Amino acid sequence: MLIWLKHPDHGVKDCYSESEAAMCEANGWIRFDPAAKADDKKMPEADIPVAAPVVERKKPGPKPKNRE
């Protein structure tokens, strides 16, 4: 038996036994049926991961001259 679970922070996972699913549910996972509705497969906007900001790097300047 395949049991599908989803979590607000960790996404989606599947379990292969009732005992495994029960342990996951104790940690905040929720059962769902991926075949129930086509709309359920879409992630709500709040669950869409946010990309990290782009950091532009400066080009390296000239190497320092030896001051001997």
User: For residue 26, what is the enclosing H or E element?
Assistant: helix 18-26
39: pLDDT strictly greater than 60: no
pTM, two decimals, is: 0.51
Work out the widest C-alpha separation in the chain, in whole angstroms. 76
Q: Distance between CA atoms of 26 and 2, rounded to whole angstroms?
A: 18
**pLDDT tens for residues 12-38?**
999 999 999 999 999 999 999 888 765
pLDDT band at 65 (very low <50, low <70, confident <90, very high): confident
Indicate the domain borders of the chain.
Answer: 3-43
pLDDT at 64: 77
pLDDT band at 44 (very low <50, low <70, confident <90, very high): low
